[in-house]
Structure 1
Amino acid sequence: MRAFSNPNWINDLKFDYEKFEDIPSVVFDKINRDLDRVQSKSPLVSILISAWNEEVNILRCIASLSRMETQIPFEIIVINNNSKDRTQDTVDRLHVRSLFEVKQGCGPARQTGQENASGEYILLADADCYYPSCWVDDMMKVLMKPNVVCVYGRYSFISEPGFPRWKLYILESLKDAISEIRHLKRPYYNAYGLSMGYVKKYGLKVGFIKTNFWGDDGQLCLGLMRYGKIKQVRSNRARAWTSPRTLQRTGNFSQALNARVVKELKRFKNHFNSRMPKNISMTNK
């Protein structure tokens, strides 16, 4: 985890385009050469990305995945979740599998993805995230251990004006600390689809919630607990990186930090209770 700056490899993938029409063909060509190099026609792992109105973000995400350094065979599947912009045009220019899910929500989109995935394992990624080249290896190293059915990784925020890296570092350190406590009894509250993996055959048994429900990823993790262990991937180098837009919805940095601290304090004692909820309403990132 970096305290003062974003990783250099992210700067190479930011692509300052505002819309599909701005993306030059040479950018697609470069990413496709990398995709052809890293993807397999007989994948062990399927990386699922649900995308809704992400015509430029999806380019950045897939560009980062195209730089994976791994011997594990994988494929990338993008599920267009009824986008109204030109997300599909971007995906059509890239050498990845493409699916369409008209029913709105990550749950329905991810369910369509896992039902069509070729791999034995699923890794979930978000369309607005960047992934380091070690991400597949570090996630799978834990997921392929005996009796493990689901893993989740950590994530960091990309600094922007008003959200400097050192402040985000403090927030992330607090977030990582509380995740250790959550993991003892309620690991599903840590399972976010921006960096999560599971064994597909058990995922198909549990299934994603087929409504537009915030928490489909945690709900799947909760169901998977019947079949085996849930593990954290604590590797800092394997962190997914995302924009601070979920923080910005709360206001400035101080407002975002205060809102999350207050929310965690109110439910802190519940983290030591192993009682299983029927439905999970997930916290904001």
Structure 2
Amino acid sequence: MTITDYQSYFKATPQTLNDYDFKRLTTYFELLAEVKKPVVSLVTPVFKAKDTLIAHIMGLTNLKTIIPYEIIFVENNADKETLSILEQLGANVVSEPRQGITYARQKGLEEAKGQIICTMDPDSIYDPYYIDKMALPFFMDKDLVLCYSVSQSYEEDFQLSTKMHFRNRLKVAYFRWKFSRGFTNKIKHIRAVCMAMRREVLTPIGYETDLRIVSGCDDGMLAMHLHNMGRSKYINVDVYTALPPKREPGKPFPFCNERFLPSKKPLERTFQELEIDQTTK
């Protein structure tokens, strides 16, 4: 399947699926539940993912590998629609009540059983041979601790216009050039949407859950630590993800923006939201 083949699954729910697709997805999770000793763990945090989640899972069913693997969805105070999709399909879901992407990824790491941890995003579609391409290098190089790649973008409802196709080609070329420019350039452009790590090296490091104002939060910082533990490798593999959300100048992406954190001053926050002038005249 190509990325545009997933258009019919945009905003899909278990109720809108035809009988064949619904049975395919539920059977997929039933079979995964029988895997007792996974070699690879695919970890996907979910928050508000209802629009793309069915398509993401459908993409996972197209993975082709002989390597036993598991899939862990970490719900991080997810909305009820997202949770309902996962529940109806029988997915493996764990909960992390502490809000934040780093908390969610840390929970996934703690729950994972595989030797290799692959971090994923629920708005992304992965190459059918993603597991083999990202995991097998670890078994050929004992000093390898991190494999990473570059994601391409799709437009809303999994469209891929000529303009976006051209943009993706430039993006991949640009990032590969950045990766070749040494540690300082490379480390800033590694993204958790397509990272694979050796668990025995990753576990003692863990995710820095106290991060608040670092763009990306979970990927660059972790890549820095892993860099000191062994070798990393760029993998040429297709990954398509939604365009990133807009952000305020000088601010991180919304999922780790401090304005999304619970406020200790609810009254002042209310004033700000209502645009009430608190000054006295």
- TM-score normalised per structure 2: 0.76
Supply the distance in 2 between the matched residues of 1:244 and 1:168 (Cα, whole angstroms).
11
CA shift, 1:20, in A, is 3.7
The size of the alignment, in residue pairs, is 242
**How does 1:196-207 map onto structure 2 within 5 Å?**
196-207=195-206
* SS at 1:164 equivalent: helix
**How does 1:1-285 map onto structure 2 within 5 Å?**
8-18=1-11, 20=13, 23-24=16-17, 26=19, 27-36=21-30, 40-144=35-139, 145-159=141-155, 160=159, 163-181=163-181, 183-185=182-184, 187-211=186-210, 213=212, 214-233=216-235, 235=236, 238-246=237-245, 249=246
CA distance 1:41–1:28, shift in 2 (3 Å): farther
Q: Specify the code of the residue in structure 1 equivalent to 2:16.
A: I
RMSD: 2.8
Question: Which piece of structure 1 moves more, 148-157 or 210-219?
Answer: 210-219
* SS at 1:241 equivalent: strand
Gaps of 5+ in 2: 254-281
CA shift, 1:79, in A, is 0.3
CA shift, 1:16, in A, is 4.3
CA shift, 1:231, in A, is 1.5
TM-superposition CA deviations, 1:128-147 (whole Å, max 9, x none): 00011110000012233220
Supply the distance in 1 between the matched residues of 2:146 and 2:93 (Cα, whole angstroms).
25
Supply the distance in 1 between the matched residues of 2:14 and 2:210 (Cα, whole angstroms).
32
Q: Specify the code of the residue in structure 1 equivalent to 2:191.
A: Y
CA shift, 1:186, in A, is 5.0
Supply the distance in 2 between the matched residues of 1:170 and 1:132 (Cα, whole angstroms).
19
Supply the distance in 2 between the matched residues of 1:245 and 1:45 (Cα, whole angstroms).
27
CA shift, 1:169, in A, is 2.2
Task: Work out whether residues 105 and 212 of structure 1, in 8 Å CA contact, stay in contact via their aligned partners in 2.
Answer: no
TM-superposition CA deviations, 1:232-279 (whole Å, max 9, x none): 11x2xx221012244xx37xxxxxxxx9xxx9xxxxxxxxxxxxxxxx
TM-superposition CA deviations, 1:37-58 (whole Å, max 9, x none): 5673310111000111102312
Runs of 4+ in 1 over 6 A off after TM superposition: none
Task: Work out whether residues 42 and 73 of structure 1, in 8 Å CA contact, stay in contact via their aligned partners in 2.
Answer: yes
* SS at 2:2 equivalent: helix
* SS at 1:15 equivalent: helix
Which one has the largest radius of gyration?
2
